[in-house]
């Protein structure tokens, strides 16, 4: 686990650990009893955790982040790692080797979700899991998801070094394809684990941009997956007693406010909609204004309607974006005969978000009628429910932050994560750390190793607590 460190450092930390352990034994036991609410005893498996015994190997962790970033299809500092690509396969074996080095038993499921387990004293109990993803959209950064996988592995090493022994098993999960880049399905691995049939069915038909089926792509990466394997992956509610995810905030709040730890209370739920209008088009000079039915203007009017309906919701938590707006034929002297919009709307309140979707649909119909265009498509692509984090996990993360003397605040995750789906099969919690200017999904994405180490410590302590519950 610390085998990459120079020997003198190893010896030194080992000695200081022994010294710390004997010096702090009683105080530590008392603190951990208070912290965990779990009676400790002088027995060898008893807890011996204190803030000072939790040492993160920042040099090693930063090196692993940098090494993983090198498995990329675009040059540094950008990272591009697409599902089942050659670089993705290399990154996967890198993660598996780190798991093995950390003494975890490694297994992989049919689509390549990777699990590394540290067996607890009562291995029959539901395990406590933590993890995230390592795939990266084109030209993104090296921290999104990665912090939650490599950080989770470091949390395991931190606990091992401190002498901690888990009661429930602890497990690190690397989820397959959180990003929708290759097959248009986000959180592919966690949706399958959560038992979402629609995803299992969609995977039977999807193809990528090069017309490769999901199964062929998986086979190319060494996963001989078949249709019937997909539903066998579904987890039950007995699989995990808790799931945690450590992640960069991907927003500016923690950095702006100088707060070390964000404790997520809820993950806003995304919905996405595809809309198409069709009109007659025509020559931009010859067709007079009263004779037109301009599909582009219908799209423009709908984009403004999206903003209006979102603003009318009465909550700052409702958001809506028209991220794609395409006009056909796309020539300066041609009236658009077709327009295509893709709308993303989110809220932590599902009912309020669904009301916005209904209003958008009504507006689309009204606009089409008023402008004499055809509403040829209105498809709600996905409409996921939000997830609430578990009260007891929020509490454990707050106590852990206090224990470590770290400033923290409760916040909402406006981006979604694998946790959104894991919440369907397990009590869930998320830890955010600050990132530079809130940048994410671009090469400038950055989180300091000190901030990452703080997140790792909160994660480690919370995992320890939940493992004893």
Binding site for Zn ion (CB under 5 A): 144-145
Candidates 109, 97, 9; CA nearest to 59 is 9
Minimum distance from CB of 340 to Zn ion (Å)?
27
Dmax (CA) for the chain in angstroms is: 91
Under 8 Å CB-to-CB from 124, ≥6 apart: which residues? none
Based on the number of CB atoms within 10 Å of its own CB, is 41 exposed (0-12), middle (13-18) or buried (19 or more)? exposed
Residues in the chain: 469
Q: Which is nearer to Zn ion, 50 or 177 (CB)?
A: 177
Q: Which is nearer to Zn ion, 49 or 173 (CB)?
A: 173
State how far Cα 167 lies from the chain centre. 27
Residue whose CB is nearest to Zn ion in the complex, by number: 145
Q: Which is nearer to Zn ion, 145 or 262 (CB)?
A: 145
Candidates 178, 253, 172; CA nearest to 433 is 253
Q: Which two tokens stand for residue 179?
A: 């990003």
By three-state DSSP, how is residue 137 classified?
strand
Q: Which two tokens stand for residue 259?
A: 């707060």
> Whole-angstrom Cα distance, residue 230 to residue 117?
22
Minimum distance from CB of 247 to Zn ion (Å)?
6
Minimum distance from CB of 417 to Zn ion (Å)?
6
Q: Which is nearer to Zn ion, 144 or 278 (CB)?
A: 144
- Strand 127-133 to 240-248 pairing: parallel
Tokens 């990777």 sit on residue:
114
Minimum distance from CB of 250 to Zn ion (Å)?
7
Minimum distance from CB of 439 to Zn ion (Å)?
13
H-helix segments, 163-294: 188-193, 197-203, 214-220, 227-232, 253-257
Question: How far is CA 263 from each of CA 162, 170, 437, 459, rounded to the nearest angstrom?
Answer: 24, 21, 19, 11
Minimum distance from CB of 98 to Zn ion (Å)?
19
> Whole-angstrom Cα distance, residue 411 to residue 461?
20
Minimum distance from CB of 310 to Zn ion (Å)?
24
Q: Which is nearer to Zn ion, 164 or 183 (CB)?
A: 183
> Whole-angstrom Cα distance, residue 384 to residue 136?
22
Candidates 265, 171, 249, 260; CA nearest to 466 is 171
Minimum distance from CB of 110 to Zn ion (Å)?
22
> Whole-angstrom Cα distance, residue 181 to residue 366?
34
Candidates 54, 168, 152; CA nearest to 95 is 152
Q: Which is nearer to Zn ion, 152 or 297 (CB)?
A: 152
Q: Which is nearer to Zn ion, 275 or 411 (CB)?
A: 411
First to last CA, the chain: 26
Minimum distance from CB of 190 to Zn ion (Å)?
11
Q: Which is nearer to Zn ion, 144 or 171 (CB)?
A: 144
Q: Which is nearer to Zn ion, 120 or 455 (CB)?
A: 455
CB 242 within 8 A of CB 429: yes
Half-sphere exposure of 152 (CA within 13 A, CB side): 33
Minimum distance from CB of 79 to Zn ion (Å)?
12
Minimum distance from CB of 454 to Zn ion (Å)?
19
Q: Which is nearer to Zn ion, 144 or 347 (CB)?
A: 144
Q: Which is nearer to Zn ion, 161 or 417 (CB)?
A: 417
Beta bridge partners of 207: 213
């Amino acid at each position: 686990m610390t085998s990459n460190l120079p020997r003198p450092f190893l010896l030194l930390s080992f000695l200081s650990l022994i010294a710390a352990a004997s010096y702090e034994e009683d105080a530590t036991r008392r603190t951990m009893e208070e912290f965990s609410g779990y009676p400790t005893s002088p027995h060898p498996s008893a807890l011996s955790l204190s803030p000072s015994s939790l040492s993160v190997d920042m040099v090693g962790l930063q090196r692993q982040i940098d090494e993983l970033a090198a498995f990329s299809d675009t040059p540094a500092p950008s990272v591009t790692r697409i599902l089942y690509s050659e670089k993705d396969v290399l990154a996967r074996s890198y993660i598996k080797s780190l798991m093995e080095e950390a003494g975890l038993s490694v297994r992989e499921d049919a689509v390549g979700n990777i699990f590394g387990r540290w067996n607890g004293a009562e291995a029959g109990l539901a395990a406590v899991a933590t993890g995230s993803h390592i795939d990266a959209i084109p030209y993104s950064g090296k921290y999104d998801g990665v912090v939650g996988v490599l950080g989770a592995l470091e949390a395991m090493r931190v606990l091992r070094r401190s002498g901690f022994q888990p009661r429930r098993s602890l497990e690190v999960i690397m989820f397959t394809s959180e990003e929708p880049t290759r097959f248009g399905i986000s959180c592919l691995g966690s949706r399958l684990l959560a038992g979402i049939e629609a995803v299992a069915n969609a995977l039977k038909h999807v193809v990528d941009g090069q017309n490769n089926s999901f199964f062929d792509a998986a086979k190319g990466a060494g996963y001989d997956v078949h249709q019937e394997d997909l539903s066998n992956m579904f987890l039950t509610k007995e699989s995990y007693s808790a799931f945690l995810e450590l992640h960069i905030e991907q927003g500016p709040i923690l950095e702006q406010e100088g707060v070390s730890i964000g404790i997520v209370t809820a993950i806003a739920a995304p919905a996405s909609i595809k809309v198409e209008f069709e009109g007659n088009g025509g020559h931009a000079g010859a067709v007079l204004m009263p004779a037109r039915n301009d599909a582009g203007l219908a799209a423009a009017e709908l984009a403004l309607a999206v903003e209006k309906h979102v603003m009318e919701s009465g909550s700052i938590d409702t958001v809506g974006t028209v991220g794609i707006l395409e006009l056909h034929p796309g020539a300066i002297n041609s009236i658009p005969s077709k327009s295509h919009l893709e709308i993303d709307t989110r809220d932590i309140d599902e009912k309020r978000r669904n009301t916005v979707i209904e209003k958008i649909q009504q507006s689309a119909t009204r606009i089409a009628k008023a402008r004499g265009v055809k509403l040829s498509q209105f498809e709600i692509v996905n409409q996921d429910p939000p997830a609430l984090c578990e009260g007891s996990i929020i509490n454990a993360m707050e106590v852990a932050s206090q224990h470590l003397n770290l400033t923290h605040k409760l916040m909402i995750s406006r981006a979604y994560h694998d946790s959104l789906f894991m919440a369907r099969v397990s009590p869930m919690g998320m830890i955010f750390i600050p990132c530079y200017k809130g940048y994410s999904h671009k090469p400038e994405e950055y989180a300091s190793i000190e901030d990452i180490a703080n997140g790792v410590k909160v994660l480690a302590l919370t995992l320890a607590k939940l493992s004893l519950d």
